[in-house]
């Protein structure tokens, strides 16, 4: 878009035909419009709030909330402040997003690869999964898992039981909770040592490979170190771990870790839904690597596993990462659908209950939107850094 | 030299060979086929039983649902509510006319050789909404007024999606052009607008529209709930649309701009006659994908209390007269959405293949 500059002509055009003056004019008009619009909004809002008796400011964050929340990662009860409810909601949003991102990525990669399988049945099954799941609204899928599947589970007394330690009923999934005892520090220490050892090992292996060309099985040996060392430390310290078992007390279970059905439904629906999109991204990424690359690697005599690991996947990742980032963002934003089934995420707790109780719509909506804006910007920042690291290095 | 006519070996063509190639090419492939095949067969058979063979289709009352399968009777009984919401029975012909016109406008698009199908499409984008504005709410030409609070079901879903897409496309074009502008302030305003709307979830936008919009407006001026939801959806969607269109604008080779400049065309002629037609054609699949996601996202309006098709079903499955019809309800809604979304995505793939003028490498 080059400017069609004509202003160097001796006679000189009329000023309103000069693109620079025009640009200046339009920008001044745009600024004026934005300021006028903004001022009108603020003015209207203040007038409206005054006439309805709504207070302003962020003082409400210090007030007592007075409502209970069914699940919180930080200690919470009804006597705490609205500021605390914000933290509880935020943590719950982050929790379900992180869980969803992990499972959706794993599932998406599996399905994406299955879609390319040479096995006709597996490939078609993956296709059917993708076409069905991604053409059905997410909210409907959340409802399905919450009301139709989890809602029809038995009551706590008739729980589905696995090995006497894992219980599933319509109040949620109950798991034993590990509680580290005295001496568990040794295990943490050994994990740290193992990680340092693996880093050193991989450096040494790379150096040796550059010098002699011999390949050391770093991954397998590294995995062995990371698994074996902590297990030895655990046994040496005398198994310093007890399990808090869930047990039926009265009408409900107590103890252990509880995954409430709201969280479970949201997690399952978000993972399955996003996985169908990730699968297509993975497929197109793998297909984008030209066949010649695989053939060239074969001609060099590389075994199949190494072709995949060293030639195909690094090139596919370049195509996969940018759209994958958008999917992570979508998943995080979609976790706000939690409010429809009552999982206490940021939107449900803060934009729902807190807003209703305090009536301070402007502040609450602004804070909530700012949080999502920050999360989005952070995710894309990290993914862009990673993206730059794997991009083709061109001169 | 009598050459014997030899048929190709049986194991190279035909179903047996196909199975050897695609299902049993190696021992682990065979194992995979057997395990997966077993799982598919054991799961699909009960599914079909539930859906069709043991399901109840006929009857008048909840007590008629005696089969082990699905109770489609429930859907049948409530179909009117699922399609029209609370729209008065005797006025439903007005909605039916709109459904008919919608079908007339868009079904021909799926048939390759339909005469003048372009004009049907153009009618769908211009005349159809114009007729709808008068026909559905009523109020003029002697039509009885139907408040928007009575609209619901599939009809509301279609209205939300249709107006959302129609309004967000032009706004998106303007925003995309603004983002590509050489004027830093205009570009800045567009970038901020697009990035902010894209970063927040639709739910927060809908909440904002329903809670805060009344505060923003001067006193005495107020919108109905549906209108507020539409404003929120349109603003949110136009940001996505802008990014899709920006992709198309970026894909136009520089030579096109320079050629237009060389012809002495001004900005608007250059953009309107040369750049936009090419850019829009290039991103039709992206626009359609945005449309599909908007169509699915319209279900969110049930959170702010509008009865779209999911909302109508969700509100009836708890009816104590019918027992355990939740799955039937969800399957019905899923099927409705699936038909629309899958159809549209197939259409867009067709279009992509047909409009491929060799820009892509």
Using the predicted structure, report yes or no on whether residue A194 has a pLDDT greater than 50.
yes
Please judge whether A333 and B201 are an interchain contact, meaning their C-beta atoms are less than 8 angstroms apart.
Answer: yes
- The answer to whether B145 touches B137, Cβ cutoff 8 Å, is yes
Q: What residues of B are in contact with residue A140 (Cβ under 8 Å)?
A: 299, 310, 330, 333-334, 337
Which residue of chain B comes nearest to A366, CA vs CA? B208
Longest CA pairwise span in chain B (Å): 102
Please judge whether B196 and A125 are an interchain contact, meaning their C-beta atoms are less than 8 angstroms apart.
Answer: no
Closest Cα in chain B, distance from residue A119 (Å): 5
Residue B17 in contact with partner chain A when CB distance is under 8 A: no
- Rounded to an integer, the average pLDDT of B240-267 is 90
Q: What residues of B are in contact with residue A351 (Cβ under 8 Å)?
A: 203-204, 207
User: What is residue B358's predicted lDDT score, i.e. its pLDDT?
Assistant: 57
Q: What is the pLDDT of residues B127-155, one digit of tens each?
A: 888 888 888 888 888 788 888 888 889 99
Percent of chain A beyond pLDDT 90? 31
**CB pairs < 8 Å spanning A and B:** 159
Please judge whether A1 and B215 are an interchain contact, meaning their C-beta atoms are less than 8 angstroms apart.
Answer: no
Question: For residue B301, how many other CB atoms are within 10 A of its CB?
Answer: 27
Angle of helix B117-125 relative to helix B92-106, nearest 10 degrees?
140
User: What is residue A200's predicted lDDT score, i.e. its pLDDT?
Assistant: 92
- The answer to whether B331 touches B315, Cβ cutoff 8 Å, is no
- Please tell me the distance from the alpha carbon of residue A194 to that of residue A229, in angstroms, as a whole number: 7
Q: Are β-strands A166-169 and A160-162 bridged in parallel, bridged antiparallel, or unpaired?
A: antiparallel
The DSSP result for B3-54, as a single string, is PPP-PPPTTTSHHHHHHHHHT-SSHHHHHHHHHHHHHHHHHHHHHHIIIIIT
- A-contacting residues of B 312-351, CB under 8 Å? 314, 317, 324, 326-327, 330, 333-334, 337-338, 341-342, 345
A13 confidence band (pLDDT: 50, 70, 90) = low
Of A41, A131, A337, nearest to B216 by CB-CB distance is A41
Q: What residues of A are in contact with residue B33 (Cβ under 8 Å)?
A: 119, 121-122
Tokens of B98: 């709109």
Closest listed residue to residue A108, CA positions, set A375, A286, A262: A286
- Rounded to an integer, the average pLDDT of B59-66 is 76
Residue B257 in contact with partner chain A when CB distance is under 8 A: yes
User: What is residue A18's predicted lDDT score, i.e. its pLDDT?
Assistant: 77
Of A4, A122, A137, nearest to B310 by CB-CB distance is A137
Residues in a beta bridge with A169: A172
- What mean pLDDT value characterizes chain A? 85
Please calculate the CA angle B7-B12-B16 and round it to the nearest 5 degrees: 110
Residue A48 in contact with partner chain B when CB distance is under 8 A: yes
DSSP symbol at B69: S
A286: Cα separation from own chain's centroid: 23
- The answer to whether A338 touches A96, Cβ cutoff 8 Å, is yes
Percent of chain B beyond pLDDT 90? 27
User: What is residue B245's predicted lDDT score, i.e. its pLDDT?
Assistant: 93
Task: Give the 3-state secondary structure of residue B308.
Answer: strand
Residue B265: how many CA atoms within 13 Å on its side-chain side?
17
**Neighbour-count burial for B56-91, b at 16+ CB within 10 Å, e otherwise:** beeeeebeebebebbbbbbbebbeebbbbbebeeeb
Lowest mean pLDDT among A11-25, A342-356, B325-339: A11-25
Closest Cα in chain A, distance from residue B21 (Å): 8
Of B201, B207, B299, nearest to A137 by CB-CB distance is B299
Please judge whether B299 and A139 are an interchain contact, meaning their C-beta atoms are less than 8 angstroms apart.
Answer: yes
- Rounded to an integer, the average pLDDT of B20-28 is 80
Of A3, A132, A362, nearest to B215 by CB-CB distance is A362
- What mean pLDDT value characterizes chain B? 85
DSSP symbol at B142: T
Using the predicted structure, report yes or no on whether residue B360 has a pLDDT greater than 70.
no
A80 confidence band (pLDDT: 50, 70, 90) = confident
- The answer to whether B179 touches B242, Cβ cutoff 8 Å, is yes
Which residue of chain B comes nearest to A39, CA vs CA? B216
- Rounded to an integer, the average pLDDT of B257-265 is 90
Closest Cα in chain A, distance from residue B93 (Å): 28
- Please tell me the distance from the alpha carbon of residue B29 to that of residue B27, in angstroms, as a whole number: 5
Residue B340 Cα distances to A78, B99, B152, angstroms: 46, 14, 18
Please judge whether B299 and A361 are an interchain contact, meaning their C-beta atoms are less than 8 angstroms apart.
Answer: no
Of B185, B202, B330, nearest to A144 by CB-CB distance is B330
Of B29, B219, B303, nearest to A47 by CB-CB distance is B219
- Listed in sequence order, the residues at least 6 apart from B255 whose beta carbon sits closer than 8 Å to its beta carbon are none
- Please tell me the distance from the alpha carbon of residue B80 to that of residue B88, in angstroms, as a whole number: 10
- The answer to whether A135 touches B45, Cβ cutoff 8 Å, is no
- A-contacting residues of B 25-44, CB under 8 Å? 25, 29, 32-33, 36-37, 40
- The answer to whether B336 touches B360, Cβ cutoff 8 Å, is no
Of B200, B310, B330, nearest to A372 by CB-CB distance is B200
Residue A351 in contact with partner chain B when CB distance is under 8 A: yes
Using the predicted structure, report yes or no on whether residue B361 has a pLDDT greater than 50.
no
Please judge whether B182 and A3 are an interchain contact, meaning their C-beta atoms are less than 8 angstroms apart.
Answer: yes
User: What is residue B156's predicted lDDT score, i.e. its pLDDT?
Assistant: 92
A125 confidence band (pLDDT: 50, 70, 90) = very high
Residue A104 Cα distances to A45, A279, A328, B127, B254, angstroms: 42, 9, 9, 43, 40
Q: What residues of B are in contact with residue A136 (Cβ under 8 Å)?
A: 296, 334, 337-338, 341
Of B32, B189, B215, nearest to A361 by CB-CB distance is B215
Residue A173: how many CA atoms within 13 Å on its side-chain side?
10
Which residue of chain A comes nearest to B339, CA vs CA? A135
Lowest mean pLDDT among A171-180, A257-266, B77-86: A171-180
Q: What residues of A are in contact with residue B189 (Cβ under 8 Å)?
A: 30, 34
Please calculate the CA angle B18-B24-B29 and round it to the nearest 5 degrees: 135
Q: What residues of B are in contact with residue A372 (Cβ under 8 Å)?
A: 199-201, 204
Lowest mean pLDDT among A68-77, B246-255, B350-359: B350-359
Please judge whether A30 and B200 are an interchain contact, meaning their C-beta atoms are less than 8 angstroms apart.
Answer: no
Write a three-state SS string for chain A: CCCCCCCCCCCCCCHHHCHHHHHHHHHHHHHHHHHHHHHHHHHHHHHHHHHHCCCCCCHHHHCECCCCCCCCCCCCCCCCEHHHHHHHHHHHHHHHHHHHHHHHHHHHHHHHHHHCCCCHHHHHHHHHHHHHHCCCCHHHHHHHHHHHHHHHCCCHHHCEEECCCEEEECCEEEECEEEECCCCHHHHHHHHHHHHHHHHHHHHHHHHHHHHCCCCCHHHHHHHHHHHHHHHHHHHCCCCEEEECCEEECCEEECCEEECHHHHHHHHHHHHHHHHHHHHHHHHHHHHCCHHHHHHHHHCCCCHHHHHHHHHHHHHHHHHHHHHHHHHHHHHHHHHHHHHCCCCCHHHHHHHHHHHHHCCHHHHHHHHHHHHHHHHHHHHHHHHHHHHHHCCCCC
Q: Which of B215, B259, B261, B268 to mutate to test the interface with A (most CBs of A within 10 A)?
A: B215
Please judge whether A365 and B211 are an interchain contact, meaning their C-beta atoms are less than 8 angstroms apart.
Answer: yes
Tokens of B346: 């197939």
- Please tell me the distance from the alpha carbon of residue B246 to that of residue B261, in angstroms, as a whole number: 20
Residues in a beta bridge with A160: A168
Residue B258 in contact with partner chain A when CB distance is under 8 A: yes
Residues in a beta bridge with A173: A168, A259
Q: Are β-strands A172-175 and A177-180 bridged in parallel, bridged antiparallel, or unpaired?
A: unpaired
Which residue of chain A comes nearest to B215, CA vs CA? A45
Using the predicted structure, report yes or no on whether residue A54 has a pLDDT greater than 70.
yes
- Please tell me the distance from the alpha carbon of residue B46 to that of residue B199, in angstroms, as a whole number: 43
Please judge whether B29 and A30 are an interchain contact, meaning their C-beta atoms are less than 8 angstroms apart.
Answer: no
Longest CA pairwise span in chain A (Å): 96
Q: What is the pLDDT of residues A239-298, one digit of tens each?
A: 777 787 877 776 677 777 888 889 999 999 999 999 999 999 999 999 988 889 999 999
Residue listed under structure tokens 């963002």: A329
Residue A389 in contact with partner chain B when CB distance is under 8 A: no
Closest listed residue to residue A286, CA positions, set A305, A323, A314: A314
Residue B183 in contact with partner chain A when CB distance is under 8 A: yes
**Can you give the pTM of this predicted structure?**
0.86
């Amino acid at each position: 878009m080059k400017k069609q500059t004509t202003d160097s002509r001796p006679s000189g055009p009329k000023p309103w035909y000069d693109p620079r003056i025009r640009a200046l004019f339009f920008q001044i008009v745009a600024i004026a419009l934005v300021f006028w619009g903004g001022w009108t909004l603020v003015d209207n809002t203040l007038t409206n709030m005054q006439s309805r008796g709504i207070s302003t400011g962020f003082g409400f964050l210090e007030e007592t909330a007075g409502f209970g929340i069914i699940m919180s990662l930080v200690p919470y009860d009804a006597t705490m402040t609205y500021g605390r409810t914000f933290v509880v909601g935020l943590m719950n949003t982050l929790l379900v997003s992180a869980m969803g991102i992990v499972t959706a990525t794993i599932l998406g990669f599996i399905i994406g690869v299955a879609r390319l399988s040479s096995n006709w049945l597996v490939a078609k099954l993956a296709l059917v999964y993708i076409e069905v799941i991604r053409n059905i609204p997410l909210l409907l899928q959340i409802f399905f898992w919450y009301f139709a599947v989890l809602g029809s589970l038995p009551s706590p007394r008739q729980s589905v039981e696995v090995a006497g330690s894992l219980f599933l009923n319509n109040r949620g999934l109950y798991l034993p909770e590990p509680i580290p005892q005295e001496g568990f520090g040794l295990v943490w220490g050994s994990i740290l040592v193992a990680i340092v050892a693996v880093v050193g090992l991989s450096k040494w292996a790379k150096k040796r490979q550059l010098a002699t060309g011999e390949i050391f099985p770093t991954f397998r040996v590294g995995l062995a170190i990371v698994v074996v060392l902590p297990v030895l430390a655990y046994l040496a310290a005398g198994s310093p771990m007890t399990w808090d078992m869930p047990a039926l007390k009265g009408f409900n279970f107590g103890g252990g870790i509880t995954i409430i059905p709201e969280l479970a439904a949201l997690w399952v629906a978000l993972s399955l839904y996003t996985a169908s999109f990730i699968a297509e991204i993975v497929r197109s990424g793998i297909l984008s690597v030209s066949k010649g690359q695989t053939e060239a690697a074969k001609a060099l005599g590389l075994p199949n596993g190494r072709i995949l690991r060293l030639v195909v996947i690094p090139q596919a990742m370049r195509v996969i990462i940018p759209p994958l980032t958008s999917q992570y963002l979508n998943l995080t934003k979609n976790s706000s659908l939690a409010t429809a089934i009552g999982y206490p995420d940021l939107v449900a707790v803060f934009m729902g209950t807190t807003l209703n109780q305090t009536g301070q719509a402007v502040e609450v909506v602004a804070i909530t939107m700012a949080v999502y804006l920050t999360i989005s910007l952070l995710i894309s920042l990290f993914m862009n850094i990673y993206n730059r690291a794997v991009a083709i290095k061109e001169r | 030299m009598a050459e014997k006519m030899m048929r190709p070996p049986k194991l190279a063509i035909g179903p047996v060979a196909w199975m050897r190639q695609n299902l049993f090419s190696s021992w682990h492939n065979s194992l995979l086929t057997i395990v997966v095949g077993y799982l598919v067969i054991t799961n699909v058979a009960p599914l079909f039983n539930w859906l069709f063979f043991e399901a109840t289709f006929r009857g008048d009352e909840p007590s008629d649902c005696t089969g082990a399968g699905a109770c489609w009777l429930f859907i049948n009984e409530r179909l009117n509510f699922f399609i029209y919401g609370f729209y008065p029975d005797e006025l439903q012909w007005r909605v039916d006319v709109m459904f008919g016109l919608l079908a007339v406008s868009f079904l021909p698009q799926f048939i390759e050789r339909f005469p003048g199908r372009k004009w049907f499409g153009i009618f769908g984008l211009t005349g159809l909404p114009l007729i709808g504005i008068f026909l559905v709410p009523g109020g003029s030409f002697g039509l009885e007024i139907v408040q928007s609070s009575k609209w619901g079901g599939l009809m509301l879903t279609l209205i939300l999606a249709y107006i959302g897409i129609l309004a967000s496309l032009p706004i998106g074009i303007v925003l995309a052009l603004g983002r590509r502008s050489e004027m830093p302030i205009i570009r800045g305003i567009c970038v901020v607008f697009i990035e902010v709307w894209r970063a927040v979830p639709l739910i927060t936008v809908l909440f904002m529209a329903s809670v805060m919009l009344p505060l923003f407006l001067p006193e005495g001026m107020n919108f109905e709930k549906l209108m507020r939801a539409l404003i929120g959806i349109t603003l949110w969607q136009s940001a996505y649309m802008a990014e899709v269109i920006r992709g198309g604008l970026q894909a136009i080779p520089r030579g096109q701009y320079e050629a237009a400049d060389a012809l002495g065309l001004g900005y608007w002629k250059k953009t309107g006659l040369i750049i936009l037609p090419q850019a829009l054609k290039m991103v039709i699949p992206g626009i359609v994908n945005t449309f599909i996601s908007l169509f699915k996202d319209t279900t969110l309006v049930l959170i702010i209390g509008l009865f779209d098709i999911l909302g109508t079903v969700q509100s009836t499955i708890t009816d104590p007269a019918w027992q355990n019809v939740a799955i039937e309800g969800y399957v019905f809604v899923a099927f409705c959405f699936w038909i629309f979304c899958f159809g549209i995505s197939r259409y867009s793939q067709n279009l992509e293949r047909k409009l491929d003028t060799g820009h892509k490498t």
